[in-house]
Amino acid sequence: MSIDLFHALAGSLLGTLGFAMLVHAPRRSWLPGALIGMAAFLIYWLLGLAGLPEAAAIFIGSLTGAMAALFCARWLRMISTVFLMMSIVAFVPGLGLYQCMHYLGEGETVQGAQAGIQAMISIAMIVLGQSIGSYLFRTLVKPPHHRQGH
Amino acid sequence: MTLEDERACMAPLQLAGQLIVESGGEIYRVEETITRMGRALGLRDVDSFAVPSGVFISYRLSDGTVETAVRRLHPGATDLERIDRVNSVSRRIEEGTLTLAQASAELEAIRDDRRPVRRWQPLAAWICASGFSLLFGGGVAEFLLSGAVAALVELLCEGLNRARAQSMFITLIGGLVSALVPMAAALLWKDLNTAPTIAGALMPLLPGLAMTNAVQDTVRGDMVAGLSHGMSALLTACLAAGGALVAAALFLRLTGGGAV
């Protein structure tokens, strides 16, 4: 992990907040959603510091983020999509995608393919973490008698 | 409920589905909302089938006949607040605090609400891109430039959207400009780190919501909608990155690779 704690916290908070504004998330979801995004990224960052492979760190960060997002949606009685999206957006491998294109643009096909595969693995881990997190939450936490956010 | 009242239920059910799809919601949510609303309004045998381009609704009237309707849908701009408001209407119908007439009026108000949200978009893109440039290892210069480029791209995309350009073309141009401006700036500003600047500026174009929808639809067992949203996310990401690829190749050809 090449960034320090300040960059990790400020970057994930601002990035998630800006993304929420872009998709017109309800205003009362901005702060809790951005905090969930930041916390999920912090878990990933700490696991990376502890020496866990990047793919595993993304998977665990995405899984815990998804569970926190679903809990928050139920607590605030809002749609889960808002928080689920905010919980994963900091993991989207924008830099990896750019590096892939950059290498391909320079004609360095092997390095481009390597960066592209790495980005695809990150995306697969995000999807897997969110799927399992959503499934676990819905299995472990029973819905209330009257429906909350669905 | 009279037969006429039962028939009148179709319009709000269709409108609820339409608002969710057109605002970028998941397909399982459309079907679940329509079915729950219909049952809460006292209808029997309510069924709904939605795809990203249309919704089919049917229910049994008290005379035994089946009322069915189809509506063709055209996905519009993403607006999660609209989906949340429709969800709130559905929830209150289920709780019995909203009548059919009140629900119809609220849904029509949501449909007709044209808030000036677009003014916020460049600022939102600025915040998003600046934040991600930090996450990708950028410093103050990258933070400032990445945000400015993303805001510029957002304005450009909005202009192209108003000119009725294809959404795929808009994403491609967005990716191209997001990469081209930082590369040009690096010619003048030798210390600028282009990688976090460009990657940060690309982030607002990437399909975070489509990816979430694909996962949620698939987890709920709707493979068709999951694949559809997944393909949409993949295509959008490829187009944004493809724009950056064109910019990198173009710049390499023009400058001999000095600034890239």
Percentage helix, strand, coil for chain A under 3-state DSSP, each rounded to 5: 80, 0, 20
Residue B215 touches chain A, beta carbons under 8 Å:
yes
% of chain B beyond a pLDDT of 70: 97
- Which one has a higher pLDDT value, A60 or A108? A60
Cβ-nearest to A94 among B78, B202, B211: B202
Segment B15-44, tens digit of pLDDT: 999 999 998 888 989 999 999 999 999 999
pLDDT tens digits, residue range B185-209? Answer: 998 888 888 889 999 999 998 887 8
pLDDT of residue A13: 95
Q: How far is B59 from chain A (nearest CA, A)?
A: 22
> pLDDT by residue (tens digit) across B221-242?
888 888 888 888 888 888 888 8
Q: Which residue has the tokens 């997190």?
A: A133
Closest residue, chain B, to A136 (C-alpha):
B219
Q: Is A22 on the interface with B (CB under 8 A)?
A: yes
Domain ranges of chain B: 3-112, 119-255
Instruction: Give the residue among B128, B81, B70, B234 at the shortest CA–CA distance from A120.
Output: B234
The alpha carbon of B244 is separated from its chain's Cα centroid by a whole number of angstroms, namely: 22
- Distance in angstroms (rounded) separating the CA atoms of residues A103 and A99: 6
Q: What CA–CA distance (Å, rounded) separates B223 from B76? A: 22
In the three-class reduction of DSSP (H, G, I as helix; E, B as strand; rest coil), residue B114 is classed as coil
Q: Shortest Cα distance from A60 to chain B (angstroms)? A: 16
Rounded to an integer, what distance in angstroms lies between the CA atom of residue B29 and that of residue B18?
A: 11
Residue B66 belongs to what H/E stretch?
strand B66-72
B27, B29, B136, best to mutate vs chain A, most A CBs in 10 Å: B136
CB contact under 8 A, A104 and B245: yes
% of chain A at pLDDT higher than 70: 95
pLDDT band at A145 (very low <50, low <70, confident <90, very high): low
Confidence label for B162 from pLDDT (cuts 50, 70 and 90)? confident
Lowest mean pLDDT among A31-40, A55-64, A105-114, B250-259: B250-259
CB contact under 8 A, A134 and B219: yes
CB contacts, 8 Å: A78 with chain B: 84, 87
Give the mean pLDDT of B205-222.
82
Contacts for B245 with CB less than 8 Å, ≥ 6 apart: A101, A102, A104, A105
CA distances from A98 to A103, B44, B244 (A): 9, 53, 7
With contacts defined as CB-CB under 8 Å, which chain B residues touch A63?
none
How far apart CA A135 and CA A128 sit, in angstroms, is 11
pLDDT of residue B257: 60
- Would you say residue B146 has pLDDT above 60? yes
Residue A65 has a pLDDT of 95
Residue A23 dihedral angles phi and psi, to the nearest 5°: -95, 15
A75 residue type, one letter: W
Buried b (16+ CB within 10 A) or exposed e, A25-59: bbeebbebbbbbbbbbbbbbbbbbeeeeebeebbb
Percent composition of chain B: helix, strand, coil (DSSP 3-state, to 5): 70, 10, 20
CA-to-CA distance for A111 and B257, rounded, in angstroms?
A: 17
Percent of chain B with pLDDT over 90: 48
Residues in chain A within 8 Å Cβ distance of B240? 97
Q: Is the dihedral of CA B81, B87, B89, B92 positive or negative?
A: negative
- CA of A6 vs chain B CAs: smallest distance (Å): 9
Using the beta-carbon criterion (under 8 Å), do B257 and A106 form an inter-chain contact? Answer: yes
Residues of A numbered 23-82 whose beta carbons fall under 8 angstroms of chain B's beta carbons: which are they? 23-27, 29, 41, 77-82
pLDDT score, position B117:
56
Interface touch A80/B216, C-beta < 8 Å: yes
pLDDT of A148 reads 47
